[in-house]
Structure 1
Amino acid sequence: MSDVGQLRAAITIGSVLTPGDDGYEDSLKRWSATAEKRAAVVVKAANAEEVAAAIKFAVANKLPLTARGGGHSSSGTSSSEGMVVDLSNMRAVSVDQDAMTASFGGGCVFADLDRVLDPLGLAIVGGVVNHTGVGGLILGGGHGYLTPKHGLTIDNLLSVQIVTADGSILEASEKENEDLFWAVRGAGVQFGVVTRFTSRIHKQGEVWSGALVFTPDKLPDLVAAVNDFHNKDNRDGHCLTMGIGYGPDGTSRVLTVSPFYQGPVDDARKFFSKILDIGPIIDMTTMMTVGQVNQLLNPLAYHGIRRLMGSGNAVMPLDAATLQSTADKFWSFCDARPGVGAQSAVAVEFFPTHKILEVPHDATAYSNRGDYYDVVTMFGWTDEARDGELRAFNRELVAHIRDTLGYKYNAREGGDAPVGRYINLETDPVKPEDAYGANLKRLRVVKRKFDPENVFHKWHGVNVEVE
């Protein structure tokens, strides 16, 4: 690497950190300790111009490059042994209530948005954990509790400011650099560093949510209740998640249902009566703001331990015996490994897909618009010696879920079919055809235009097609 002094001279507001500098070690920390790498240089940029200077320096010096927003991925996407462009100083949020839009920096986490929007009775479509970075989640598609009512995060996205591989600072929207905007919505990390997002926001009242905890023998009854929920075909934004996991002691098997109802408590309890009638051993539901809902999973998803996630899907109706096989497989593995269960879970996100499916499959690069629900695996542990077996089991468990519960995608026969996986949750790299399906061909055309040298190649690479 050339003298880093040249880079320091270009970064006049932010900072440049190399090994031994104050703040360098902290800059390497990630949500998952398995995703941390020792970077040659970290650029904590203050604006798009500094991001551009960092990219130009990395390209000129042939340094591998990545961007860090919230640092929440368990795949290592936000870490590099070359350069990390750290956006954590770029967290300004501005709201235009007349236009019902919000603009926010690429280093924001969703808690930054909740703090501004919640007091105004407004909300944005985000994830289900509020310390997730906006960049990674949005650019991979993005969904959460408000998706059943308002669609994916990318379906609410109006424009981005993005720094591309040659250091250009571009605006991309439906009216400007339309091809880049199409690609950003679902494969954004392959095309540059987004330094600003502008999105629709929505009026939002309080909702009824929280957690209902059940003993594991209630699984068949809960499956019947969620099948009934699915058959209601509600278009009002009500949704729920069902988790397979453990109680606070890390050893007691439990099932958890987190309902989300867009309305008052009496209506909510009537709507979800079939679940409530099963008899939760703990009922922690109440009226709350969406910002408060987005904090509910924080105790399970705290920073600093070793993390791993995976993505499957479930086609309705659910079969109780089939889901039980997944639960038994998960519980048996965790029972044999003390300390793993307390921070691990399998969850089915019953987020109705009507709004997702309203958008044509080829309208954005996102390739997972299917009539099924996402299944999420999450493991947390502290002993590095267990890394290999956790990764192997996660692959095995996700394959089991796809084989028994889910819609199956075949890249050779898929046509314009959805890929059946939510790439934001994938820890292991996914083949381009399995990540982007029928949208891959167009993505490669856009890639050749904006990043012909494949500077941005981390995670599920689009790759440049060889003619």
Structure 2
Amino acid sequence: MIAFARVLHVGLSLLVSCSVAQSTNLTAVFRSILSPGAQIILPGPNGTWSSQVQTRWSDYRAPQYQAVIKPATEADIQRIVNVARTHGVSFLTTGGGHSTADFSAFAGISIDLGNFKSATLDATNSLLTVGGATEFVDIYNLLYDAGKELPVGSCACPGIVGSSIAAGLSPLMGERGLLTDALTSVRLVTADGRLVTASRTRNPDLFWALRGAGNNFGVITSATFKVYNATNDGQAMTASMVFPAATNGSFWNALHALDKTMPSRLSITALGFYFREFNLALPTTIAMTPQKDLYPPIQGSCDPNQHINLYSLAVAKLDPAALQAAYGDMVNMWQSYPGYQGRMLIQRFPNDAVAKAPWYETAYPWRDAIAQISIEGFMTDTSIYPVVDSFETSLRARLVKTSGYPRLATYAGYAKGTEDPSAWYGPNLPRLVAVKRQWDPQGLFSHSKPIPTWS
């Protein structure tokens, strides 16, 4: 990791509303169709939830649930989807819960997959099967102890399935490709309540669409991935360096120099943030680290219910001048608003193995992207939400101009959700529209980065 110090560190037809009476009606509607092990959980005072509910990484513009249903079986999920469709109840599925997307207009229920946390490794055939809510941290030791690896993300707590159906970016993707490239099959409940399997040979069009736009097509209960023999016996050399803010221009130039020469086994994560302290030591650490210990939850990456407003973009090239100007804008924001603790995150992961496949191989289109830039608006003062949103919207728009793409391109897993669908799906959008019309013509699964069925 590299960092700088200011710092840069490398609808029931009776559509549900918020009243207790209507929440009670939801209980009456769903309770009779669920198995004994399933739960219906209602919000407590002031909209609080019990610890049994998977909470979101960010509470900024989070969905407003009238109830959370925790199914115990796949049959429970089938019944929930059928009843919700019949009565017009909107729903979202929660797996890992690591989201900052804008769901402020959503009112309905959550299908919480907390009972679907499992991981089974078939080391002989190099296959890993996980439940719909299994997180990266749940498989670290399992894979490491077996001498295997998977191109997991650089954060411990996101859900594996949720990440993979967006694409699944990873420091290992220069060697292993995207996480979605390792996906071999999924079991999911579709909009008509069927439990189906999708793979390259079974429902192949659906399987194609799931790999990049998966939240549009069903509730995934389990997924199977191909795993690989661990690179370098599962050991990685890590280096953590901190640079003063005044040197950020030199750093961007050095990073840009790797645009076409990035080694496939090198990954760089750069964080620009403000320590708000003076005379800090600027440590450098270099160490050999087991893969299972590479991604501890640091810098608020796994703490729930934070105030985070995030905007991101994919870039096909890095522009040092634009990055230096953006960093200067961040400095001005930090100085002007003490309640703003935002940071600029650059994930410069190699894309050698990713780019070997054409853009139409899966629904994820941005295989030529060399980096992801995220403006992560952490806040302690919620009164500055409008200011932060305006600032980050404008900053992203300026960075798009030098991104190497003619318009905004963004990884759906990091997207705000308010962008035009072409930003998430690019040239794959027309084919996705056709698959969506076949598998979800009523748009049940259209609350998160939706594919427009009218295009």
Shared fold, TM over 0.5: yes
What corresponds to 1:261 in structure 2?
none
1:311 aligns with 2:340: no
Equivalent positions of 1:23-38 (< 5 A) are: 24-26=49-51, 27=53, 29-38=55-64
Separation in structure 1 between the aligned mates of residue 61 and residue 319 of structure 2, nearest angstrom: 35
What corresponds to 2:5 in structure 1?
none
1:409 aligns with 2:406: yes
What corresponds to 1:323 in structure 2?
323
Alignment equivalent of 2:71, drawn from 32, 45, 50:
45
Do the aligned partners of 2:62 and 2:102 also contact (CA within 8 Å) in 1? yes
The CA deviation at 1:229 is 3.7
Separation in structure 2 between the aligned mates of residue 311 and residue 356 of structure 1, nearest angstrom: 20
Alignment equivalent of 2:386, drawn from 388, 413, 421:
388
Give the 3-state SS of the residue equivalent to 2:180 in structure 1. Answer: coil
What corresponds to 2:249 in structure 1?
220
Equivalent positions of 1:198-217 (< 5 A) are: 198-204=224-230, 205-217=234-246
1:194 aligns with 2:220: yes
The CA deviation at 1:220 is 3.0
Figure out how many residues of one structure are paired with residues of the other and give that number.
426
What corresponds to 1:281 in structure 2?
282
Alignment equivalent of 2:452, drawn from 417, 439, 463:
463
Do the aligned partners of 1:68 and 1:86 also contact (CA within 8 Å) in 2? yes
Alignment identity in percent? 24
For residue 295 of structure 1, what is the amino acid of its counterpart? P
Give the 3-state SS of the residue equivalent to 1:167 in structure 2. Answer: coil
Give the 3-state SS of the residue equivalent to 2:107 in structure 1. Answer: coil
Separation in structure 2 between the aligned mates of residue 310 and residue 453 of structure 1, nearest angstrom: 29
What corresponds to 1:9 in structure 2?
32
Q: Deviations over 1:221-274 (max 9, x none)?
A: 323432344443423x21112221123xx45699xxxxxxxxxxxxxxxxxxxx
For residue 339 of structure 2, what is the amino acid of its counterpart? G
Separation in structure 1 between the aligned mates of residue 386 and residue 329 of structure 2, nearest angstrom: 18
1:84 aligns with 2:110: yes
What corresponds to 1:269 in structure 2?
none
Q: Deviations over 1:171-221 (max 9, x none)?
A: 000010101101100000011111111111122211011421111122233
The CA deviation at 1:17 is 1.5
Do the aligned partners of 1:66 and 1:79 also contact (CA within 8 Å) in 2? no
What corresponds to 2:8 in structure 1?
none
Separation in structure 2 between the aligned mates of residue 300 and residue 6 of structure 1, nearest angstrom: 37
Do the aligned partners of 1:308 and 1:391 also contact (CA within 8 Å) in 2? yes
Do the aligned partners of 1:311 and 1:423 also contact (CA within 8 Å) in 2? no
Separation in structure 1 between the aligned mates of residue 102 and residue 426 of structure 2, nearest angstrom: 23
Do the aligned partners of 1:139 and 1:188 also contact (CA within 8 Å) in 2? yes
Separation in structure 1 between the aligned mates of residue 127 and residue 278 of structure 2, nearest angstrom: 45
Give the 3-state SS of the residue equivalent to 1:365 in structure 2. Answer: coil
Give the 3-state SS of the residue equivalent to 1:102 in structure 2. Answer: strand
Do the aligned partners of 2:312 and 2:396 also contact (CA within 8 Å) in 1? yes
The CA deviation at 1:298 is 5.0
The CA deviation at 1:40 is 2.0
The CA deviation at 1:93 is 0.4
The CA deviation at 1:352 is 1.6
The CA deviation at 1:6 is 4.6
Alignment equivalent of 1:58, drawn from 67, 84, 90:
84
Separation in structure 1 between the aligned mates of residue 283 and residue 209 of structure 2, nearest angstrom: 45
1:445 aligns with 2:417: no
Separation in structure 1 between the aligned mates of residue 279 and residue 32 of structure 2, nearest angstrom: 56
Do the aligned partners of 1:39 and 1:79 also contact (CA within 8 Å) in 2? no
Give the 3-state SS of the residue equivalent to 2:364 in structure 1. Answer: coil
Separation in structure 2 between the aligned mates of residue 348 and residue 97 of structure 1, nearest angstrom: 34
Stretches of structure 1 lacking an aligned partner (at least 5 in a row): 255-279, 411-418
For residue 55 of structure 1, what is the amino acid of its counterpart? V
The CA deviation at 1:383 is 2.5
Q: Which moved more, 1:205-214 or 1:450-459?
A: 205-214
For residue 409 of structure 2, what is the amino acid of its counterpart? G
Determine which structure has greater relative contact order: mean sequence separation of CA pairs < 8 Å that are 6+ residues apart, divided by chain length.
2
The CA deviation at 1:29 is 2.8
The CA deviation at 1:120 is 2.6
Q: CA RMSD in A?
A: 2.5
Separation in structure 1 between the aligned mates of residue 278 and residue 169 of structure 2, nearest angstrom: 30
Alignment equivalent of 2:193, drawn from 145, 167, 171:
167
Q: Deviations over 1:20-60 (max 9, x none)?
A: 59994442731101143432221111232111111112111
The CA deviation at 1:127 is 1.6
For residue 130 of structure 1, what is the amino acid of its counterpart? A
Give the 3-state SS of the residue equivalent to 1:424 in structure 2. Answer: coil
What corresponds to 1:242 in structure 2?
270
Alignment equivalent of 2:124, drawn from 91, 95, 98:
98
Separation in structure 1 between the aligned mates of residue 273 and residue 228 of structure 2, nearest angstrom: 33
Separation in structure 2 between the aligned mates of residue 253 and residue 436 of structure 1, nearest angstrom: 46
Give the 3-state SS of the residue equivalent to 2:337 in structure 1. Answer: coil
1:18 aligns with 2:18: no
Do the aligned partners of 2:56 and 2:304 also contact (CA within 8 Å) in 1? yes
Relative distance call for 1:252 and 1:408 in structure 2 (3 A) is: farther
What corresponds to 1:414 in structure 2?
none
Equivalent positions of 1:361-400 (< 5 A) are: 361-400=359-398
Separation in structure 2 between the aligned mates of residue 28 and residue 87 of structure 1, nearest angstrom: 9
For residue 61 of structure 1, what is the amino acid of its counterpart? H
Relative distance call for 1:382 and 1:227 in structure 2 (3 A) is: closer
Relative distance call for 1:54 and 1:382 in structure 2 (3 A) is: farther
Relative distance call for 1:435 and 1:201 in structure 2 (3 A) is: same
The CA deviation at 1:15 is 1.0
For residue 27 of structure 2, what is the amino acid of its counterpart? V
Q: Deviations over 1:403-426 (max 9, x none)?
A: 2x311234xxxxxxxx63212111
Separation in structure 2 between the aligned mates of residue 6 and residue 324 of structure 1, nearest angstrom: 56
Equivalent positions of 1:141-180 (< 5 A) are: 141-180=167-206
Separation in structure 2 between the aligned mates of residue 439 and residue 168 of structure 1, nearest angstrom: 26
The CA deviation at 1:328 is 0.3
Separation in structure 1 between the aligned mates of residue 278 and residue 215 of structure 2, nearest angstrom: 40
The CA deviation at 1:76 is 4.4
1:129 aligns with 2:155: yes
Relative distance call for 1:115 and 1:46 in structure 2 (3 A) is: farther
Separation in structure 2 between the aligned mates of residue 361 and residue 253 of structure 1, nearest angstrom: 48
Do the aligned partners of 2:173 and 2:352 also contact (CA within 8 Å) in 1? no
Q: Deviations over 1:336-363 (max 9, x none)?
A: 111322xx21122221211111111111
For residue 14 of structure 1, what is the amino acid of its counterpart? A
Relative distance call for 1:285 and 1:77 in structure 2 (3 A) is: farther
